[in-house]
Amino acid sequence: QCLLSGSWQSDTGCRMVVSVLGKDGSFSGSYLPGPAASDPKILSSPLKGSQQDAGLVPQPTFSFTVHWQLQDLETARMTAFLGQCYVGTNGEETLHTLWLMREATESPTEDWKATW
């Protein structure tokens, strides 16, 4: 059974800590991207999300958003993650995700470069 509560680390060194997992599947925590170690402008950022009922589905889907906390207050960014938690034959849990990051722009003409 996959439960998101706890600490997770990606192949690229990103770290996610899910500190609160509600009975309704909601969760919150913090996220720190891998490049943060070399970029002092990036701070640990809050995340909020929701997980499919792990009692009904052994390998649940989930989604969460990260509202980036940057020292450069002129840049506003958010990232949405969507994924699934898998349990391997050895019982190890792994997360597979896709993400989109959005950066605020000054005008609609700059919209083309706002989503990564």
Global confidence as pTM: 0.85
Contacts of 33 (CB under 8 A, 6+ apart): 14, 42
Which sequence spans correspond to the domains of the chain? 6-113
Per-residue pLDDT of 35-89, as tens digits, reads 665 666 667 889 999 999 878 888 999 999 998 877 665 667 899 999 999 999 9
Top-level class of domain 6-113:
mainly beta
Backbone phi and psi for residue 83, each to the nearest 5 degrees, phi listed first: -165, -165
Contacts of 58 (CB under 8 A, 6+ apart): 1, 2, 87
What dihedral angle (degrees, nearest 10) is formed by the CA atoms of 16, 69, 97, 89? 0
Number of CB atoms found within 10 A of residue 104's CB: 11
